[in-house]
Chains A and B, each alone.
Chain A
Amino acid sequence: MDTPWIQTHDLCRYYRRGPQQVRAVDGVNLSIDRGEFLGIVGASGSGKSTILNLLAGLDSPTSGSIDFEGVPLGSLNRRQLAAYRAHRVGMIFQSFNLLGHHTALGNVELALYFNDTPHRERTRLAAETLKRLGLGDRLDHRPGDLSGGEQQRVAIARALVKRPEILFADEPTGNLDHENTRQIAELLTDLNRQGLTVVMVTHDLDLARQCTQRMIRMHYGRLAAPKDPAFGGGTAS
Chain B
Amino acid sequence: MIIRDLLAVATGNLWRMKLRAFLTISGVVIAIAAFVAMLSFGAGMQKNIAEQFNELGLFSTIQIYPRGARAANHTDKAAVLDDHAVAAIAALPGVQLAYPFDEFSVTVTVADTQITTEAQPLPTVATRTKAFSRLLAGKSLSSDSTHEALVTEEFMQMLKINDPDSLLGRQLIVSVKVSSLDSAVARVPQSMVETIDERAREIRFDSLRNKHYLERIVRRELQIAMSGFVDGFMNARATVSDTLNICGVLEGRHGGPLRIKPVVFPIRTGKRFSSAGYSGDPIDMFTSLNSGTLFASSGDTTGKSYPKVTLNLDQYADYESVSDTIEALGYRTFSFAKEFKEIRRFFIYFDLALAVIGLIALITASLGIVNTMIMSIIERTREIGVLKSLGADERDIRVLFLVESGLIGAIGAIFGILLGWTISRVASAIARIIMERREIPDMDLFTMPPWLVLTAFLFAVAVSLAAGYYPASRAARVDPVEALHTE
Assess whether B391 is in contact with A82, with CB atoms less than 8 Å apart.
Answer: yes
Which of these binds chain B: A94-102, A123-131, A204-212? A94-102
User: Taking the nearest CB of chain B, how far is it from the CB of A148, in angstroms?
Assistant: 15
User: Taking the nearest CB of chain B, how far is it from the CB of A151, in angstroms?
Assistant: 13
Assess whether A158 is in contact with B481, with CB atoms less than 8 Å apart.
Answer: no
In B382-413, the 8 Å CB interface with A consists of 382-383, 385-396
* B468-487 to A contact mask, C-beta < 8 Å, 1/0: 00000000000011001001
Which of these binds chain B: A64-72, A108-116, A225-233? A108-116
User: Taking the nearest CB of chain B, how far is it from the CB of A85, in angstroms?
Assistant: 4
Assess whether A58 is in contact with B481, with CB atoms less than 8 Å apart.
Answer: yes
Q: Closest chain B residue to A114 by CB distance?
A: B391
Assess whether A82 is in contact with B487, with CB atoms less than 8 Å apart.
Answer: no
User: Taking the nearest CB of chain B, how far is it from the CB of A229, in angstroms?
Assistant: 34
Assess whether B394 is in contact with A78, with CB atoms less than 8 Å apart.
Answer: yes
In A52-67, the 8 Å CB interface with B consists of 53, 56, 58-59
| Interface band, chain B | 20 to 34
Assess whether A58 is in contact with B389, with CB atoms less than 8 Å apart.
Answer: yes
Q: Closest chain B residue to A102 by CB distance?
A: B12
A87 within 8 A of B: yes
B437 within 8 A of A: no
Complex Cα distance A56/B390, Å?
Answer: 10
User: Taking the nearest CB of chain A, how far is it from the CB of B11, in angstroms?
Assistant: 13
User: Taking the nearest CB of chain B, how far is it from the CB of A224, in angstroms?
Assistant: 24
Complex Cα distance A47/B32, Å?
Answer: 54
B204 within 8 A of A: no
Assess whether A110 is in contact with B390, with CB atoms less than 8 Å apart.
Answer: yes
A198 within 8 A of B: no
Assess whether A56 is in contact with B396, with CB atoms less than 8 Å apart.
Answer: no
Assess whether A86 is in contact with B484, with CB atoms less than 8 Å apart.
Answer: no
B1 within 8 A of A: yes
Assess whether B4 is in contact with A85, with CB atoms less than 8 Å apart.
Answer: no
User: Taking the nearest CB of chain A, how far is it from the CB of B259, in angstroms?
Assistant: 69
Assess whether A119 is in contact with B4, with CB atoms less than 8 Å apart.
Answer: yes
- Say which residue of B4, B12, B480 sits within 8 Å of A58 (CB atoms): B480
Assess whether A111 is in contact with B390, with CB atoms less than 8 Å apart.
Answer: yes
Complex Cα distance A91/B388, Å?
Answer: 11
Assess whether A82 is in contact with B396, with CB atoms less than 8 Å apart.
Answer: yes
B74 within 8 A of A: no
Assess whether B393 is in contact with A79, with CB atoms less than 8 Å apart.
Answer: yes
Assess whether B396 is in contact with A99, with CB atoms less than 8 Å apart.
Answer: no
- Say which residue of B5, B391, B480, B487 sits within 8 Å of A86 (CB atoms): B391
- Say which residue of B390, B481, B487 sits within 8 Å of A114 (CB atoms): B390
Residues from chain B with a CB closer than 8 A to the CB of A95 are: 487
Complex Cα distance A55/B394, Å?
Answer: 19
> Chain B binding site: helix, strand, loop or mixed by DSSP?
helix
Assess whether B481 is in contact with A97, with CB atoms less than 8 Å apart.
Answer: no
Assess whether A101 is in contact with B390, with CB atoms less than 8 Å apart.
Answer: no
B16 within 8 A of A: yes
Assess whether B386 is in contact with A99, with CB atoms less than 8 Å apart.
Answer: yes
User: Taking the nearest CB of chain A, how far is it from the CB of B76, in angstroms?
Assistant: 76
Complex Cα distance A125/B151, Å?
Answer: 86
User: Taking the nearest CB of chain A, how far is it from the CB of B145, in angstroms?
Assistant: 84
Q: Closest chain B residue to A111 by CB distance?
A: B390
Residues from chain B with a CB closer than 8 A to the CB of A37 are: none
Residues from chain A with a CB closer than 8 A to the CB of B1 are: 113-114
| Interface band, chain A | 20 to 34
Complex Cα distance A10/B386, Å?
Answer: 28
User: Taking the nearest CB of chain B, how far is it from the CB of A86, in angstroms?
Assistant: 2
- Say which residue of A59, A78, A86, A87 sits within 8 Å of B481 (CB atoms): A59
Assess whether B389 is in contact with A91, with CB atoms less than 8 Å apart.
Answer: yes
User: Taking the nearest CB of chain B, how far is it from the CB of A147, in angstroms?
Assistant: 19
Complex Cα distance A78/B395, Å?
Answer: 9
Residues from chain B with a CB closer than 8 A to the CB of A30 are: none
- Say which residue of B5, B16, B396, B484 sits within 8 Å of A93 (CB atoms): B484
Complex Cα distance A95/B9, Å?
Answer: 23
Assess whether B386 is in contact with A114, with CB atoms less than 8 Å apart.
Answer: no
Assess whether B385 is in contact with A82, with CB atoms less than 8 Å apart.
Answer: no
In B99-123, the 8 Å CB interface with A consists of none
A83 within 8 A of B: yes
Complex Cα distance A116/B389, Å?
Answer: 16
User: Taking the nearest CB of chain A, how far is it from the CB of B99, in angstroms?
Assistant: 74
Q: Closest chain A residue to B385 by CB distance?
A: A97
Complex Cα distance A113/B6, Å?
Answer: 9
Q: Closest chain A residue to B487 by CB distance?
A: A95
Complex Cα distance A56/B487, Å?
Answer: 20
* B263-300 to A contact mask, C-beta < 8 Å, 1/0: 00000000000000000000000000000000000000
Residues from chain B with a CB closer than 8 A to the CB of A97 are: 382, 385-386, 389, 484
User: Taking the nearest CB of chain A, how far is it from the CB of B134, in angstroms?
Assistant: 63
Q: Closest chain A residue to B17 by CB distance?
A: A101
Assess whether B391 is in contact with A87, with CB atoms less than 8 Å apart.
Answer: yes
Residues from chain A with a CB closer than 8 A to the CB of B481 are: 53, 58-59
Complex Cα distance A203/B389, Å?
Answer: 23
In B1-46, the 8 Å CB interface with A consists of 1, 4-5, 9, 12, 16
Assess whether A85 is in contact with B390, with CB atoms less than 8 Å apart.
Answer: yes
In A148-164, the 8 Å CB interface with B consists of 158, 162
Assess whether A56 is in contact with B395, with CB atoms less than 8 Å apart.
Answer: no
Complex Cα distance A78/B391, Å?
Answer: 10
Complex Cα distance A89/B176, Å?
Answer: 105
Residues from chain A with a CB closer than 8 A to the CB of B5 are: 113, 119
Residues from chain A with a CB closer than 8 A to the CB of B4 are: 119
User: Taking the nearest CB of chain A, how far is it from the CB of B387, in angstroms?
Assistant: 7
Residues from chain A with a CB closer than 8 A to the CB of B391 are: 82-87, 111, 114-115, 162
User: Taking the nearest CB of chain B, how far is it from the CB of A164, in angstroms?
Assistant: 10
Complex Cα distance A111/B394, Å?
Answer: 16
- Say which residue of B386, B392, B484 sits within 8 Å of A82 (CB atoms): B392
Residues from chain A with a CB closer than 8 A to the CB of B16 are: 101
Assess whether A56 is in contact with B389, with CB atoms less than 8 Å apart.
Answer: yes
Contact surface of A with B, Cβ cutoff 8 Å? 53, 56, 58-59, 78-79, 81-87, 91, 93, 95, 97, 99, 101, 110-111, 113-115, 119, 158, 162
Known: A85-B389, A85-B391, A95-B487. 6 other contacts (CB 8 A): A82-B394, A86-B391, A99-B383, A110-B387, A113-B5, A114-B396
21 contacts between A and B (CB under 8 A): A58-B389, A59-B480, A78-B394, A82-B393, A83-B391, A85-B390, A85-B391, A86-B390, A86-B391, A87-B391, A97-B389, A97-B484, A99-B383, A99-B386, A113-B5, A113-B9, A114-B390, A114-B392, A114-B396, A115-B391, A119-B4
